[in-house]
Amino acid sequence: MSDKTLTRMDLSEAVFREVGLSRNESAQLVEAVLKHVSDALVEGETVKISSFGTFSVRDKAARVGRNPKTGEEVPISPRRVLSFRPSHLMKDRVAAGSAS
């Protein structure tokens, strides 16, 4: 596994190089896209990006968990969680990239 992390700055730089917008416009475009995606998820919408995957929000019910160290039962409150399901194309691409 790689220790490299793709950041917003990396995305902005890629837009700058590949699309030809200014660095400032590239950063604004990346921010606008990320804000639009996050706003949709906050509203409970599903975000599907073709050939990449689907982001969705699920409601998880309250349950009783257990502290593995002590065995003590601990209540876990209900919450909303973000899930991502990669497309089959993304799965295939990642699998092919890891095969040496």
Q: What is the pLDDT of residues 67-83, one digit of tens each?
A: 999 999 999 999 999 99
Q: Which residue has the higher pLDDT, 37 or 1?
A: 37
- Copy the structure tokens of residue 38: 């996050």
- Copy the structure tokens of residue 64: 């009783």
Distance CA 58, CA 79 (A): 8
Pairing of strands 79-86, 73-76: unpaired
DSSP run (H or E) holding 37 = helix 23-42
DSSP run (H or E) holding 41 = helix 23-42
Position 32 scores a pLDDT of: 97
Distance CA 60, CA 62 (A): 7
Kindly report the CATH number that applies to the domain delimited by 43-99.
4.10.520.10
